[in-house]
A and B are shown apart, each in its own frame.
Chain A
Amino acid sequence: MKRLFKTYLEKPELAGLILLVLLIILFQVRSHGVFLNQDNLRGILGILPEAGLVAIGVTILMISGEFDLSVGSVFALMPMTMAVLMVHGWPFPLALLAGLLVSAAIGFINGYITIRFAIPSFITTLGMLFMARSLTVVVSGGFPPLLPADLPNWLFTSFVGPGNMFRMSFLWFAAVALLTSLMLSRTNFGNWIKATGGFLPAAAAMGIPTARVKIVCFMLCSVLSGFAGMLQVLRLGSPLPSIGEGMELQAVASAVIGGASLLGGIGTVMGGIIGTTLIRVIDNGLVLSHVDANWFKFAIGFLTIFAVVANAWMRKRAKAIKMEG
């Protein structure tokens, strides 16, 4: 037991992982083996990268001690920007670059305003949620523009791998997950992110440029969200201005279920991914087990509260044990 608690403190995503395994077993049994068959897995893995990339950005930002509610709107604005530019004859790579720059700019504005005026990022990004969503509808002119036919889908959405198991988007997701994970745990910048979110006065006193660290995290979060939105639009084939609605809260739920602390300083990229996977698995598993799909949001809500309560309790226990030992 002692050992378990100790491991837990070092790996806050552990509880989520255990729950994930239990749920997979449960759904596999309840669905009479359909859950883990190839077609169903392909379905889950095909859409996981979109929510997963957003969750990675939100998790890292949360570790730095801030919060982003505008990710769902950026998710829609980035591909809409691209689509409108392409309708005006821009080639795909240039439109992609412009879309990523728009996302980065939104992240910068979120971070700059939050820090410059010392207001909660909850408010800044809530404002940005409405503004970016509105911009999405305005630039689309009310009608989703038609995407050109010659898009590089082979690079983003085509199925690849043994048995065509994955979409290309999954490889992008895996690469981003690996790189951000290494950044957080193995680089000095990762150390600064954790220090900034863990205890801001100490980080500042030790000479860490905390404002810059936070702004970079805001920008990373926005860029990942925009990129994820593009993946979804390429998969669906049409840039709907309404995509990504409600995504910001699911991303926060993912991060929290994966062990990230709302107060900053604690969390892992892997945790955010586990949280996202849990949500996707529940979404899919409920349907396969013939449970009314309207229970989905209930399950996510319950899980979020449960995760935070369990995390708080475990952290307290782990601390008590370490004090004694």
Chain B
Amino acid sequence: MSDAIISVRDLHKWYSGVHALKGVTLDFKRGEALGLVGDNGAGKSTLINILSGVHRADQGEIKVEGRAVSIATPRDAMDLGIETIYQYNSMVPTMSIARNLFIGREPTRFSVLGVGILDQKKMAEESVRAIANVDLHLRSPDALVGELSGGQRQGVAIARAMHFKSKVMILDEPTNHLSVKETNKVIGFVRGLKEQGVTGVFISHNMHHVFECCDRIVAMARGEVVLDKRIGDTSIDEVHGVL
């Protein structure tokens, strides 16, 4: 499979006796928007947490662009080009947009042992560009994230992932708690990923949202993949049927 950007083979995870992932095997194809659906406890969050470095798999193999990798921390995942946007929002509300864009990856003018002076000019310039690139219109990169609406925040999170040239963007329930208008905006962002050559993994409870913006749908139940089809070859009813 040369077109798989991430392939997982026989992934297992136990949480204090609960077998949360039972041998998941899945290929994430380059440039594809994949919708991951399933009920609470189906294992989709577990799978995503393993890919984004929050948890480690107990067994199984992960390959990124054909190379076997070990993802131990969120930073490892980011360095591999896997960026995750969480439902609870991966932004610090008390900090400015520019500062949020670079959390943990701040450009410094010089540094000793990883600690250095921030290059604030670069941060301001690049954040303006990053925000404009995702078609988000904000007055100033100095505005606090706490002042933004939920949809705008997800927009900034997506801008951040794009700016750091992520290859795979995992969106974990990004439309929860958003208004209809805001949701449409986020769905627009997911559609836009394809044009930028980014693989999207879109997790949602809402089947309509998934069908609206994904190319392929993977359904999980009880720790296993129970359905894996192109959007055109299946229907909402069929997916509901297997869950």
Contacts and interface: CB of A to CB of B under 8 A. Distances in A.
Nearest to A63: B94
A187 B115 contact: yes
B91 A199 contact: yes
Contacts of A149: none
Contact of B117 (A187, A198, A201, A208): A187
B104 A208 contact: yes
A186 B147 contact: no
Interface residues of A, number: 26
Contacts, number: 85
Interface stretch (B72-80, B124-132, B174-182): B72-80
A188 B111 contact: yes
Contact of B73 (A187, A207, A323): A207
A319 B143 CA distance: 11
Contact of B118 (A187, A195, A207): A187
Contact of A199 (B54, B84, B92, B114): B92
A203 B147 contact: no
Interface string B86-119: 1011111111000100111110100100111110
B94 A266 contact: yes
A206 B90 contact: yes
A29 interface: no
A198 B95 contact: yes
Interface string B140-152: 0001101100000
Interface in A246-283: 261, 265-266
Contact of A204 (B74, B105, B108, B144): B74
A191 B54 contact: no
Given A188-B106, A207-B104, A322-B147, A202 B89 contact: yes
A9 B104 contact: no
B102 A202 contact: no
B147 A319 contact: yes
A167 interface: no
Contacts of B73: 207
A195 B95 contact: yes
A204 B52 CA distance: 12
A7 to B, nearest CB: 13
A195 B115 contact: no
B115 A319 contact: no
A192 B104 contact: yes
A204 B103 CA distance: 10
Given A191-B103, A198-B95, A203-B92, 5 more contacts: A188-B106, A192-B103, A195-B104, A198-B94, A266-B94
Interface of B: 52, 54, 73-75, 78, 84, 86, 88-95, 99, 102-106, 108, 111, 114-118, 120, 143-144, 146-147
8 contacts: A186-B117, A187-B118, A191-B118, A192-B103, A194-B92, A195-B95, A203-B103, A207-B104
Interface of A: 9, 186-192, 194-195, 198-199, 201-208, 261, 265-266, 319, 322-323
